[in-house]
Amino acid sequence: MKRTLRRSMMILIVALIIIGGVGYFSYNLVTEHNTWLNMAYNRHISSDGGLTQAGTITDRNGVELAKSVNGKRVYNDDKTVRESLLHVVGDDTINIGTAIQSMYRMNLTGYSYLWGLGLPTSLKSDSDMSLTVDASVCSEVYSLFNGRAGACVVYNYKTGEVLCDVSSLSYDPANPPEITEENQEDYKGVYVDNVVSSSYTPGSVFKLVTTAAALKYIDDIDTRQWYCEGTEKIGGDDDSCKVYCNDSIAHGSETLEQALGNSCNIVFAKIAEELGAKKMTEVANEMGINSSYSMGNIPITAGDYDLSDANKNQLAWSGVGQYTVLVNPMQMAIICSAIANEGKPILPYIIGSDAGILTKIGITTGGGTGSAVMSKDIANKIGEMMRNNVQNYYGDGSFPSGLEVAAKTGTGELTRSDGDGSSDKNNAWIVGYCQNEDYPLAFSVVVNNVEGYGSQNAQPIASAALAACKASMDK
């Protein structure tokens, strides 16, 4: 009797394990279906056999970006359009993991839990997707990178619609390269979408964060004056502790607004030193620098502001956007949207007219209002300072007429590969937004590993992108 009871108990335990395993597998199949579909070993789906049945992807104007024709995936007729939107649309592979054809492959192919890809076409739901980007805008902007690596994003800070999303370097999805040991340096990082998946040394665009910290914690900020002699030793008396402005220019006596316009390293280094690591880190965290946003199901890489091992000189340089500080291009555009919206960011989205359908079936498309990253007063003051930058330092003529651009340029100095001092190459930046609410555009541009400043490399791209987006909105 006891033996029979033990056997019954063993059978019951095994049955419960099997039922639990099947339930766990079924749950994960439903909740993690896109992960399963995109596994490299799932060749039935992740090879051409999946996308040859996929729906059509169009831009905001109905321009076809990718479609299936006679058992083959076909991309836009224009080579520059194809390359400019490679990282948004994707190619026949899943090498670009954040692309639409990777992240939303199940929806594009009409994959069924029960039938897989075998469900008859007549029974499949509509699998076409319309994106918010403008193909002609992206094509124009991509050409301006002219073979340089970097990213440009422009989105509507009222609605969240992304109009321009360009990552360079790229390749033609209709004629993908064969990457070998001999040519791999030419294609280094080509599978990475720099808009959402890369982080860069920010240089002076990070001074927006330091400005927010100063406005929050320095009581006499409205009347405070700093003095810049071009160089200053912070954290020690030897030359290694020097903080310097570009070309060691002495700016003299400055207010916070003047220091931001002059992009004075001395003032922002002094602010970081005065506030200390705890307060600087607190404000950086509040503004989302160490947080990972998302654009629908597409993750946005977090920045990095970590002062846990920083000495006083390194703390000072962190306030200038150097030391080990990193930020992501889309992240900086989101921060600019928060400044435009009195402290609350509008999150970006890139899937357009299908958003309602996808939401009904449990697919996240993005958009919506994020949590406040700064107070209304701080956001408004930073916005005024950024507008002052353009009016009195960069020049309104540097941007399309009537947009009332508020911006901050930056030049993130890169460390030489041998670790011996600084390189002559930089990350050239500009971030900002338009205060004309008829064209509510937040933007971020970075050109990676180039000589010269943000004003020389990134600002012309931003200006052209804004002009093209303005024209797109006027259609």
Q: Are 100 and 75 in contact (CB under 8 A)?
A: no
Which parts of 172-234 fold into alpha helices (H)?
194-197, 207-217
Nearest Cα neighbor of 206 from 103, 394, 332 is: 332
How much is the pLDDT for 325? 97
How much is the pLDDT for 154? 98
Q: Are 428 and 411 in contact (CB under 8 A)?
A: yes
Letter for the amino acid at 155?
Y
User: Block means of pLDDT (10 residues each) for the chain, length 475 residues?
Assistant: 67 77 64 52 49 87 94 94 97 89 80 48 65 97 96 96 96 87 77 96 97 96 93 89 87 96 96 97 96 89 96 96 96 97 94 53 59 94 98 96 97 64 82 97 96 92 98 93
DSSP annotation of 302 reads: -
Nearest Cα neighbor of 210 from 376, 377, 455, 374 is: 374
3-class DSSP state for residue 414?
A: strand
Q: Are 130 and 352 in contact (CB under 8 A)?
A: yes
pTM here?
0.87
How much is the pLDDT for 110? 65
Note if the bond before 260 is cis, omega within 30 degrees: no
